[in-house]
Chain A
């Protein structure tokens, strides 16, 4: 074994130690990078050729870095990804359920419940004194505020709906961007690894992108034989296959009879297939949450509100038409008749006759009877009649149940969100235990490699001195 070889050995030790220090430095630098997996160098001893004439002894020639390992648990990553997806789902849902709940929240203030009660009671007041102009005015006022509140509720819930549409739009754009990024990363990683390099950081980034896509929508991701991650949207089809991307687009579509969606709502289609809408096939993640909230919770609230407005209008009108006004007219409407349940809450309005004069409120059931209060009594009594749900529920109960149902779905979702949060915290902790960076650990490693570096330098120094000694022999 020659002295220069000993120097080589020292050099290899220094290189290895330097790589170790660099890797620890990289880990420390990325201690707070999302989705970063700590890295370790794997070193191995350099195997020597057997030397002739030395009794068959193997003397080592130092070490080298065989690879930079990424410490990561695939199964944990998948669980974490799915936990994140469910969390994003509940989180997104909660935002909009809260908004709908706020619209209907009259725990500490005025709302439709009180306004409707006032409406009925003004008719009761009117039944006490059917000829009083002042009470007639107040009946018209409270009816108008009921109309306004129905409209307010519908407009505000519609605003929530269009807000949801905006979010769907934004999230679909993100989905397309992420999908492209995933495909690009697939290409880059493949390129790097074909050349024999470790693409650790690219892999971290790819995992991160897959996670982001999964937060948007439910996907299944698997690695193919070439090391590509292929993502498929569950229930829809492939999103990314190798370096190929399926792009999706959103359209404000007219109402479709069979889907039961409203005019102008945002629908999703494959860009390559035009107007073939597949909105309802998206599940999970933010996009799934948005679609579900819009087409189930919000749509149902609007539908029930419309039914309520429609029933009240037609029930009041039915009675009012039979009544006689102060001028002996009969057959007048109290509210403008509404032809369809759809959108009824927004179309609710007092009839022109009532707008024109409160004398047109028909309280009497027979002409020339200013004291006849039976019409007003009958309208007030609607409060006790089971007008809704095929004659099973009163108007009040029906409205209260809307509020309660919103409360229930919001509370249930909040609970699920809390649970999901704990699960995710636990999973993140588990992932951190495996892949997270510990500064203490890295500092220890730094010291360890630093000592190795110093010692290897010492080896070179010793070899140098040996060389000196030999050279001096001649002098």
Chain B
């Protein structure tokens, strides 16, 4: 075989270039600690990394969402605790005053004032807020939901919040669901992404609904008011009738509080699921994009040896020609 100077130099150039290129790539991995520095390094992996990254950002937001929802629900629960105390006290009063034995006009006037205080407290509690948002206003949460007369000005809006991919949870309990035993309508959360019916439409539609029989409805504020009126006028029958109302209301509050409890439990479960998910994701991205440093360092050392030996052999390959011996 003819070996020419061109092939000689070509071989030298080629082997040095190749070795240098490999060293450069390894150096890059070494410097960034990543084996995935451009999409073309691993196209499928890089798409996966992007996907997981989005997942991570979303999870962080879901976790923040969950915390906010939990704070809101916790506050709602505290308010409901106060409401239940109010109702219990009112019930106590009603029991005491419903038998003519213990009820005298003087005692009734006395407790009527207390009932008035309870009423005021109930209104204040119903108007409790977190930040500048009222807990019980539904969607109308920037104005006081209950006025001094005990009328509800909020709506039945339930603020859904995303605490996991397409996992939604209501962060509030609309006031009328608590203050009334049989609210005129109930919120349907499945209508999330659709144009929700307006309250008007729902009111019309619910006329056929047996549940919406308003005669069954018991309102906290009305009950307190009528208890007070009963006490002031000495109408024992009204006082006695309010007992049932308070029982119903108490049942309602307890049911709502257990609803809140299960929601909070759901949130906590979800948060720990998110955390587990984050760990799995971190492991996954690490497998895809992180360089195996032991491998890189040992490859680099190996490559260095290759490079040095190719330089050394080049010395022998290039240097001597016949001319060197003819001098």
Cβ-neighbour of A436 out of B5, B62, B161, B192 (below 8 A): B5
Shortest distance in angstroms between B142's beta carbon and chain A's nearest beta carbon?
Answer: 4
Q: Which of A85-93, A112-120, A180-188 contacts B (4 or more CB under 8 A)?
A: A112-120
B4 adjacent to A372 (CB under 8 Å): no
A408, B3: Cα distance in complex, Å:
40
Contact indicator A407/B39 (Cβ below 8 Å): yes
Q: Does A117 contact B196, Cβ atoms closer than 8 Å?
A: no
In contact, A129 and B133 (Cβ under 8 angstroms): yes
Query: Are A125 and B61 interface neighbours, CB within 8 A?
Result: yes
How many interface residues does B have (CB within 8 Å)?
68
> Given A411-B43, A443-B323, does the pair A377, B157 have CB atoms closer than 8 Å?
no
Give 1 or 0 for each of A412-432: 1 = CB within 8 Å of chain B CB.
001000000000010011001
Contact between B3 and A433, CB atoms less than 8 A apart: yes
Tell me if B132 is interfacial: C-beta within 8 Å of chain A: yes
Residue interface mask B1-32, A partner, CB < 8 A = 1: 11111110011001000000000000000001
A118, A371, A444: which contacts B133 (Cβ < 8 A)? A371
Q: Beta-carbon contacts of A135-175 to B below 8 Å, as 1s and 0s?
A: 00000000000000000000000000000000000000000
Smallest CB separation, B152 vs chain A (Å): 14
CB distance from B247 to the nearest CB of A (A): 31
Please determine whether A403 and B50 come into contact, CB atoms closer than 8 angstroms. Answer: yes
CB–CB B141/A407 < 8 A: no
Nearest chain A CB to B106's CB is how many angstroms away?
Answer: 46
Complex Cα distance, B52 from A107, in Å, reads 12
Q: Which residues of B contact A403 (CB under 8 A)?
A: 39, 43, 46-47, 50
Alpha-carbon distance between A32 and B10 when the two chains are bound, in angstroms: 11
Interchain nearest-CB distance for B221 vs A (Å):
21
Say which residue of B10, B44, B139, B168 sits within 8 Å of A369 (CB atoms): B139
- Contacts A371-B137, A407-B42 known; 9 new A-B pairs at CB < 8 A: A113-B54, A118-B57, A374-B196, A378-B192, A396-B54, A400-B51, A403-B39, A436-B7, A439-B322
Do B40 and A374 have beta carbons less than 8 Å apart? no
A105 touches B39 (CB 8 A): yes
Complex Cα–Cα for A106 and B37 (A)? 9
Interface size on A, residues (CB 8 A): 69
> 28 A-B contacts, Cβ less than 8 Å apart?
A31-B6, A32-B6, A97-B40, A107-B46, A121-B58, A128-B64, A128-B65, A128-B69, A128-B161, A370-B140, A372-B159, A374-B196, A381-B162, A396-B54, A397-B51, A400-B47, A400-B50, A404-B39, A404-B44, A404-B47, A405-B43, A407-B41, A407-B42, A428-B6, A429-B10, A429-B11, A441-B2, A443-B323
- A residues 364-387 with Cβ under 8 Å of B? 364-366, 368-374, 377-378, 380-381, 383-384
Within 8 A of B (CB), among A58-87: none
Chain A residue contacts of B161, Cβ below 8 A: 127-128, 373, 377
Rounded to whole angstroms, the CA-CA distance of A414 and B40 in the bound complex is 9
Q: How many residue-residue contacts, CB under 8 A, span A and B?
A: 202
Neighbouring B residues of A368 by C-beta, 8 Å: 140
**Inter-subunit contact B7/A429 (CB<8 Å):** yes
* B193 contacts A by Cβ under 8 Å: yes
Residue of B whose beta carbon sits closest to that of A322: B195
Instruction: Let me know if A107 and B289 touch, CB within 8 A.
Output: yes
Q: Is A468 an interface residue (CB 8 A)?
A: no
Given A114-B53, A407-B46, are A384 and B166 also a contact pair (CB < 8 Å)? yes
Residues of chain B within 8 A of A406, CB atoms compared: 39-40, 43
A466 interface residue (CB < 8 Å to B) = no
Q: Does A437 contact B (CB under 8 A)?
A: yes
Given contacts A117-B57, A437-B4, contact A404 B43 (CB under 8 A): yes
Which residues from 208 to 222 on chain B have a C-beta closer than 8 Å to any C-beta of chain A?
Answer: none
- Known pairs A108-B37, A371-B157, A380-B162; A443 contacts B141 (CB<8 A): no
Do residues A434 and B2 form an inter-chain contact, with CB atoms below 8 A? yes
Q: B148 contacts the other chain (Cβ, under 8 Å)?
A: no
Q: Does B268 contact A (CB under 8 A)?
A: no
Complex interface: chain A residues within 8 A of B57 (CB):
114, 117-118, 121
Supposing A369-B155, A377-B193, A404-B47 touch, asked if A439 and B137 sit within 8 A by C-beta, the answer is no
CA distance A457 to B309 in the complex (A): 50
Q: Bound state CA distance, A437 and B10, in angstroms?
A: 13
CB-CB under 8 A from A384, the residues of chain B are 165-166
- What is the minimal beta-carbon distance from A98 to any residue of chain B, in angstroms? 8
B39 pairs with A425, CB closer than 8 A: no
Check A439/B39 contact, CB under 8 A, given A369-B157, A384-B165, A428-B10.
Answer: no
- Chain A residues lying within 8 Å of B1, measured Cβ to Cβ, are 433
Please tell me which one of the listed residues A129, A370, A381 contacts residue B139 in the complex, with CB atoms under 8 A apart: A370
Structural contact, B322 and A371, CB atoms closer than 8 A? no
Contact bitstring A193-227, B, C-beta under 8 A = 1, else 0: 00000000000000000000000000000000000
Given the interface contacts A107-B46, A125-B61, does A439 sit within 8 Å of B162 by beta carbon? no
Q: Does A104 contact B (CB under 8 A)?
A: yes
Please name the residue on chain A nearest to B21 by beta carbon: A418
Compute how far the CA of A440 lies from the CA of B14 in the bound complex, rounded to whole angstroms: 22
- Report the separation of the CA atoms of residues A410 and B142 in the bound assembly, to the nearest whole angstrom: 55
Bound CA–CA A366/B195 (angstroms): 9
Q: Within the complex, what minimum Cβ distance (angstroms) separates B27 from chain A?
A: 15
Contact between chains at B40 and A410 (CB < 8 Å): yes
Is A101 positioned at the interface, with any CB of B under 8 Å from its CB? yes
Whether A371 contacts B326 by the Cβ 8 Å rule is no
A438-B2 in contact given A372-B139, A414-B40 (Cβ < 8 Å): yes
Q: Are B53 and A117 in contact (CB under 8 A)?
A: yes
A401 on the B face (CB < 8 A): yes
Closest CB of chain A to B190's CB: distance in Å?
12
Q: Is the CB of B139 within 8 A of A364?
A: yes
Report, nearest first, the 3 A-B pairs whose CB atoms are least far apart.
A407-B39, A407-B43, A369-B139
